[in-house]
Amino acid sequence: MSRRVKELELDELWTFVGRKRRKVWLWLAVERYSRRLVAWVLGSRGRATARRLWQALPPPYRTGAWYHTDE
């Protein structure tokens, strides 16, 4: 039985919360083959929110996984 490498697609999108002046980013980590949502966070588009997404990942996805982004 072959074991499939864990692959996550990481993406972000923005939306407004309350007022149009309040832009919020939704960061997602989606398992590539099953399309299962693994983790998500709300925040800015900065490094601190990226760190929060990393911390939200279950430990098995923090090592030995491939990550795909749109950049």
Domain boundaries, the chain: 6-68
pLDDT tens-digit series, residues 8-61: 999 999 988 777 778 899 999 999 889 999 999 999 989 999 999 999 999 988
- For residue 19, give Cα distances in angstroms to 9, 22, 24, 43: 29, 6, 11, 15
In this predicted structure, the answer to whether residue 2 has a pLDDT above a threshold of 60 is: no
- The mean per-residue pLDDT over the stretch 55-70 comes to 88
E strands, the chain, are: 6-17, 19-31, 37-43, 65-68
Q: Is the pLDDT of residue 5 over 70?
A: no
* Predicted TM-score of the model (pTM): 0.80
Assess contact for 68 and 9: CB atoms under 8 A.
yes
